[in-house]
Structures are given as structure tokens and as C-alpha cells.
Amino acid sequence: MDVFTSAAELLRHHRPERPVLGLRPHAAHRAAKWFLANFPGKVLYAAKANDAPVIIDALVKAGIRAFDVASLVEIARTAQVEDAELYFMNPIKSRGAIATAYRDYGVRRFAFDSSDELDKVIDETGGADDLTLYLRIACPNTHSLIPLEGKFGASQEEAPALLLKARQRAARLGITFHVGSQAVVPAAFGEALRQVGQLIVASGVLVDAIDIGGGFPSRYPHSDPPELADFMDEVVRAADELAVKHSCELLCEPGRALVAEAESVIVRVDARRGQALYVNDGAFGTLFDACYSGFRFPARLIGGEARAGEPEAEFSLYGPTCDSSDHLPGPFVLPAGVAEGDYLEIGQVGAYGRAMATRFNGFGEYDEVVLTDEPMLSMYEGTEDEAPPARMTARA
């Protein structure tokens, strides 16, 4: 994969016909090092966020060895990492997936959120006595931009009986929850951990692990959350109040916070209609969240420094498909004279961008390069990191 110092350097060598994914593995490396140094427990990578081999490689080089996986495809992919620890945290799984994960990939850690699901795990692992079982409980998602509540999670009323049942079969027992994607208030984790503490006391069942899930935020033009250190301080305070604090392992499953900054997409303007720009990637590609989740991604005109005196204006974008819903309202702030043939870089798409892209209308094919400059926005400014491998900084 070719390596460039920036998107502008890429355009000095190429005028790409297809959109280009600009990978910044050094950003993923830095984020992972920060989490490993600051989270008071084990850090899992939520594999669904980005499966690019270059990004996974950067996370592994930083020290990530544990993965939150949701399917056999994710299990097969992450199982290739040496000494990988796989956590099958999808609360509802097929019987075949459970059996294959246990038998063929050595998975011993499973989530469940109902008595039926627990029975499936026990049955399909042959009543194994080496399982770590995590009860997924429901918790409020009031502090997140993308709530995830409703689909998964045992209620406070159901949870005590499920913990007792699982305790009788599990070698190790845990509780897990998710406060929602892009949580913007540190108290979200404290409130959920206090709920867990109350559940443990009410049930009278001791647990060996608490997985606080993902939800840690990244930075976007529409969302400027507190520093990640504030989230860690809240987690430490709340965990210290738990009755099982001295005997319970703490885990987290960041996805967005590890990889959002590690990828951008470089698009070409194919037409301008007033304040709408028609570009060659969109809602059915890496910019799904800009359409369906109301996200505003940072954008810049590549080579815009040559037009530094030009006033800025707000634009919306349309993707390349024939579907009228392929609309990204933004607004995206760009030089007012942006026109057909210009190229834009849209940042922070490393989380869920490539994972959500489709081939609708024949689009969805990308070129890929490594970029060695800094992300357009960052939660890790001023943090120290080891120098990335030389192959990430020299032109291939």
C-alpha cells in the first residue's frame, strides 16, 4: 500500500477516479496505547468498528490482544492474531455459531441476556465447565448520540435469577452493559456501574468480571466531548464503590474511540448545484452516519491552502447513487468557490465507515493509501506515543 504524507501529496501524484480511503494507522496505535495505559483493566477492541488489516495490525502492535466479536466472520479474522483472546459478546447467537466458536476457535467467553440464550450456550458447548459467561443487562442510553438500548439486555427484574443460574454453570461469571455509541457524558458509565453494584447486592451473587462495553467518544464538529481522562476518572470512582472491587476484573470494549481518527475518505466533486455538492461517496458508502445518524464529519478542500483568502460557506453533499436518500445534510464548511473536479477529504470515518459501505448501484469500491499526517480532529492531542513502524512513515 502506498504511503503519503497527506491527501495533498496523494493528489500531486494521482487524480483518483474512485474514492480513496486514507488510513492513519499511527492514530489507531496512539489511541490503543492511551487506553492500555489509562483504563484500569483489560481493553478489548470491538472488531465491528473497522476490520482493515493495517488498522488491526496497528492495534496489535500497540498491545491489543483481546477482541469483542459478534460473528464467526469476526472470530475467524481476529483468531489469526497471535495469543488472541476472543469474547463472543453478541447476546443472541445461532446454535451453530456457538458450537463452531467453541470447538474450532477455542472461544470460552460468551454473553447472554436470557435464560434461553444461556441454555443454548450450555447445550452447544456440551455442558462445558470452562466457560466465562457475561450477563448483558439493560441500562439507560440517555447520554449517547446513538442509543443502543431496546434490542439487548436483561431487565433489573430478570437479572438476579439469570445471574444465579449462570453462576451454577460458569467457571467465571461476569456482567456487561453498553451505555450507547458516542457517549458524551462521563456520568453515563458511573450511573451504569452503580446500577451493576445494586444488582450484585440485590442478587447476592458474586461476579468475577464487569465489562463496561464501548461508547467512549471521538471528536466531531457537532460533538466535542470531555477529555477521555474524565471518563476514566468516572469509571475509577464508580468501580471503587463496588462491593466486589478487590476481586472483580474490569473490562471495556472501545471501537469508535480507537479507530475513528484512523481513517478518512477522499472524494471528488462531480457536480455543484447551488450549495449542494455531488461527490463520489455517500450514505451507501463510508458516510452512512452522516445521513442516517445525523453526524457531521470534518471536511476540507484538498489543496485549499492555495485559496486561503477565499470566504467559507456551508454545503450539503449528495452521494453518487440514484437514491434520493443519499443525502448528507452536514453542513460541511468549505471554501465558497468549491467546484466540479475539486477533491475533498472527509475525516473521522475510521469507525464504521468501511464496515457500513455497500456496493449499491455499483459503487462502493475504494483505493487505499496510508497517510502519515495527523487526523483532522483528535481526542489524543498532546499524548505521547511510540514512533510508528518505519513502513508507516516512508513512501512505499
Per-residue pLDDT, averaged over 250-273, amounts to 98
Q: pLDDT band at 184, cuts 50/70/90?
A: confident
> Is pLDDT at 23 greater than 90 in this prediction?
yes
Phi, psi of 86 (to 5 degrees): -110, 130
Q: Where do the DSSP E strands lie in the chain?
A: 3-4, 20-23, 42-46, 66-69, 85-88, 109-112, 132-136, 144-146, 172-176, 181-183, 209-211, 249-252, 263-273, 276-279, 299-301, 312-318, 327-335, 343-346, 367-371
Per-residue pLDDT, averaged over 192-219, amounts to 94
> Is pLDDT at 344 greater than 60 in this prediction?
yes
> Is pLDDT at 335 greater than 50 in this prediction?
yes
Domain 25-259 fold is TIM Barrel (3.20.20)
Per-residue pLDDT, averaged over 203-225, amounts to 94
Task: Tell me the average pLDDT of the chain.
Answer: 93
Per-residue pLDDT, averaged over 49-64, amounts to 97
Which is more confident, 390 or 318?
318
Which of 7, 31, 2 shows the shortest CA–CA distance to 261? 31
Per-residue pLDDT, averaged over 97-119, amounts to 98
Q: pLDDT band at 35, cuts 50/70/90?
A: very high
Q: Say if CB 93 and CB 118 are below 8 A apart.
A: no
% of the chain beyond a pLDDT of 70: 96
Query: What pLDDT is recorded for position 310?
Result: 86
Q: Say if CB 35 and CB 43 are below 8 A apart.
A: yes
Q: Pairing state of beta strands 343-346 and 172-176?
A: unpaired
Contacts of 359-364 spanning 24+ positions with Cβ under 8 A: 360/284, 360/321, 360/323, 361/284, 361/320, 361/321, 361/322, 361/323, 363/280, 363/281, 363/284, 363/285, 363/319, 363/320, 363/321, 364/284, 364/285
Query: What pLDDT is recorded for position 86?
Result: 98
Query: What pLDDT is recorded for position 140?
Result: 72
> Is pLDDT at 393 greater than 90 in this prediction?
no
> Is pLDDT at 391 greater than 50 in this prediction?
no
| CB-side neighbour CA atoms (13 Å) of 116 | 4
Q: 0.75 exceeded by the pTM?
A: yes
Which of 166, 66, 70, 179 shows the shortest CA–CA distance to 113? 166
Tell me the β-bridge partners of 146: 181
Query: What pLDDT is recorded for position 348?
Result: 97
Measure the CA–CA gap between 371 and 377, rounded to whole angstroms. 15
Q: Say if CB 58 and CB 295 are below 8 A apart.
A: no
Measure the CA–CA gap between 190 and 192, rounded to whole angstroms. 5
> Is pLDDT at 304 greater than 80 in this prediction?
no
What is the per-residue burial (b if ≥16 Cβ within 10 Å, else e) of 287-307?
A: bbbbbeeebbbbbbbbebeee
% of the chain beyond a pLDDT of 90: 86
Domain 3-22+261-392 fold is Lyase, Ornithine Decarboxylase; Chain A, domain 1 (2.40.37)
Residue 245, helix vs strand vs coil: coil
Query: What pLDDT is recorded for position 254?
Result: 97
Query: What pLDDT is recorded for position 306?
Result: 65
Measure the CA–CA gap between 299 and 301, rounded to whole angstroms. 7
Per-residue pLDDT, averaged over 185-193, amounts to 93
Measure the CA–CA gap between 140 and 192, rounded to whole angstroms. 8
Q: pLDDT band at 47, cuts 50/70/90?
A: very high
Per-residue pLDDT, averaged over 217-227, amounts to 94
Q: pLDDT band at 229, cuts 50/70/90?
A: very high
Residue 143, helix vs strand vs coil: coil
Per-residue pLDDT, averaged over 78-104, amounts to 97
Measure the CA–CA gap between 22 and 364, rounded to whole angstroms. 15
Q: CB-based contacts of 74: which residues, under 8 Å, 6+ apart?
A: 47, 48, 51, 67
Query: What pLDDT is recorded for position 389?
Result: 39
Q: CB-based contacts of 360: which residues, under 8 Å, 6+ apart?
A: 284, 321, 323
Q: Pairing state of beta strands 85-88 and 109-112?
A: parallel
Tell me the β-bridge partners of 4: 371
> Is pLDDT at 40 greater than 80 in this prediction?
yes
Q: pLDDT band at 394, cuts 50/70/90?
A: very low
**How far does CA 322 lie from the centroid of its chain?**
29
Q: Where are the domains of the chain?
A: 3-22+261-392, 25-259
Query: What pLDDT is recorded for position 150?
Result: 75
> Is pLDDT at 194 greater than 70 in this prediction?
yes
> What is the phi-psi region of residue 119: left when phi exceeds 0, alpha when psi lies from -120 to 50, beta otherwise?
alpha
